[in-house]
Structure 1
Amino acid sequence: MSTDIAIVADYGCQVAEGPIWHPDDEALYWIDVPAGSLFRYRPATGEHAHVFEADVIAGITVEADGSLLLFEDGGVVRRLDTGTWEADPVLELPEESDTRFNDVVADPAGRVFAGTMPTESRPGRLYRIDPDGTYHRLVDDLAIPNGLGFTPARDGLYVTESEARRIRRYAYEEATGRLSDRTAFAAVDRDGLPDGLTVDATGDVWSAEWNGGQVVRYDDSGAVVETVACPAETVSSLTFGGENYETAYVTTGLGYYERRSKGELGPAAGALLAADLGVEGRPEFRSRLTCP
């Protein structure tokens, strides 16, 4: 499918990730993971800015009070007040002190499901962090946990495994946050690695493909129904935003370990993109780790 895709902000990010629409701010936030940079874009004015920096930021949620939770390296979670730009520690996972988070999503009850990167001695993991600060390791055999998203019926959670080139679906119990019955959803036999993920208002799953130069739309059976080419080979994630969640925002990068050139990767590599994909998204659930 041919889709008009525009560059809205280009900070030359090494690995832009974690795009999330903040309805209170009427803004899109996103990060550059290894640089620890947080950016904000306001479509109403066209203003964008680099607003905060840490060592590493690998995931974001919006809290119930409008603050942001930053999921960083060393298993550290901090609350960022977007009025003062002060970040305060909320939680630390000691068993993840030698790695970092990698993609997160809040659930309807304000819990956060958070992946962590593999180390030399073990695979990646998936945790559930409850509003009272307790956390639970749910899965410990993931080949780079990545994009996460809930089914519209709130009975399933999609979990991407980039290195294994697959997306799985777990049965999800909203009342308890329990996961069960892991099943195959989609296998990627193309060049790209499945990366960030979002679920639209119809229940279709949109997956960004790193080194694949596209986003792929799956129906709820896991069948590919559409592919959208992007002007960058390294497409990392996407989300929907705007008043009616009518705009898709897509992040890209210049390389995980070594920066590559736009000549190699495409003119939009490292930038934030906007596109009309012909569907609307849904508001993300808000975390409640620091809010009653």
Structure 2
Amino acid sequence: MTTDATVVVDRRFETGEGPLWHEEDQRLYWTDIPAGNLHRYDPTTGDVEQFYEGESVGGFTIQSDGDLALFMTEGHVALHRDGELETVIDGIAGEDGMRFNDVIADPHGRVFAGTMDVDDFSVGRLYRLDTDGTITEILESIELPNGMGFTPDQSELYVTESNANTIHLYDYDEATGEISDPRTFAELPDEKGMYDGLTVDAEGRVWSALWGGNAIVRHDADGEIAERFEIPAEYVTCPTFGGESLTDLYVTSAASDADPDEPHAGAVFHLEPGVEGTPEFTSNISP
């Protein structure tokens, strides 16, 4: 499988991250974390809109009603409705100086959400936010929690530990939201770059962004890298499937650490990967 990445939004987003395809309005959404902005892109018109500016959003989910759940700094979670924020959680004890990073909704509308220290990547935690607004610490120590994804049968959950350059696989209990039996799915000791965000395609294969590696990689069922897709930006952050049939792959990147002369640092890219994605689950969080 050979494909070329094309630039669809050629702007220098500081840290473009967490892209999600919004099924309801058929647009791509993503966050620019340090800038405290959210953006959306309409592939039919090419229009790009910044629709939020404020507190830094490390990750977000799309709610079942089409609104957004925003995961911000020091444990702050809020719902974004018609440009207004409604707080779900003011903060989490012990998360001073931390921020949320990658998040993912599960089949029951809960959200798994990682937190990180922007100055010390060896510090991080993983939480589960239940639909009633109750938050539970799932992993008390994980070095920069990042990209997550479910297997197609929803029996297992991938969790990236970026600072350890490892993607873990956990058993996942859909009824309770509990995870257990951690094991290593993939490691990246000799490859240029660091595992960042990920997504899972309809064949159950994991696609991961390589921060500092100019690439997206697709793993086989055993965790080995089967394919590599070059991206014309060094700091690649996250892939997601989109488009009406989920046959488009969109990829975000970051300009914050890039060479000022790198022409497409921070841009959003598009690939035609030759495989379909699966729809991301929506959250159903109540304040």
Q: Same fold judged by TM-score > 0.5?
A: yes
Deviation per residue, 1:216-257 (Å, 9 max, x gap)? 1012221211010110111000100011101000000113xx
Aligned to 1:247: 248
Q: Distance in 1 between matches of 2:175 and 2:264?
A: 42
Aligned to 1:127: 127
Q: Distance in 2 between matches of 1:251 and 1:192?
A: 15
Deviation at 1:94, TM superposition (A): 2.1
Aligned residues: 284
The aligned runs of 1:69-218 (5 Å cut-off) are: 69-81=69-81, 84-95=82-93, 96-118=95-117, 123-189=123-189, 190-218=191-219
Aligned partner letter, 2:107? P
Q: Distance in 1 between matches of 2:20 and 2:114?
A: 17
**Shift in CA distance, 184/80, structure 1 to aligned 2, threshold 3 Å:** same
Aligned partner letter, 1:145? P
- Determine if contact 1:63/1:290 at 8 Å carries over to the other structure: no
Which moved further from structure 2: 42-51 or 16-25? 42-51
Deviation per residue, 1:162-190 (Å, 9 max, x gap)? 11011000100000001000000000021
**Shift in CA distance, 174/46, structure 1 to aligned 2, threshold 3 Å:** same
The percentage of counterpart residues that share the same residue type is 46
- Determine if contact 2:245/2:276 at 8 Å carries over to the other structure: yes
Aligned to 1:50: 50
Deviation per residue, 1:63-106 (Å, 9 max, x gap)? 0110011111121111112xx31122112332223310010000
Q: Secondary structure at the match of 1:254?
A: coil
Aligned to 2:276: 280
TM-score by length of 2: 0.95
- Determine if contact 2:258/2:265 at 8 Å carries over to the other structure: no
Deviation at 1:290, TM superposition (A): 2.3
The aligned runs of 1:30-69 (5 Å cut-off) are: 30-69=30-69
Q: Does 1:261 align with 2:259?
A: yes
Regions of 4+ moved over 4 Å = 119-122
Q: Distance in 2 between matches of 1:249 and 1:58?
A: 18
Aligned partner letter, 2:54? A
Q: Distance in 2 between matches of 1:146 and 1:282?
A: 19
Structure 2: segments with no counterpart, 5+ residues: none
Deviation per residue, 1:193-229 (Å, 9 max, x gap)? 0000000011000000000010110122212110101
Q: Secondary structure at the match of 1:141?
A: coil
Aligned partner letter, 1:283? P
Q: Distance in 1 between matches of 2:9 and 2:80?
A: 22
Aligned partner letter, 2:97? D
- Determine if contact 2:4/2:230 at 8 Å carries over to the other structure: no
RMSD (CA atoms): 1.6
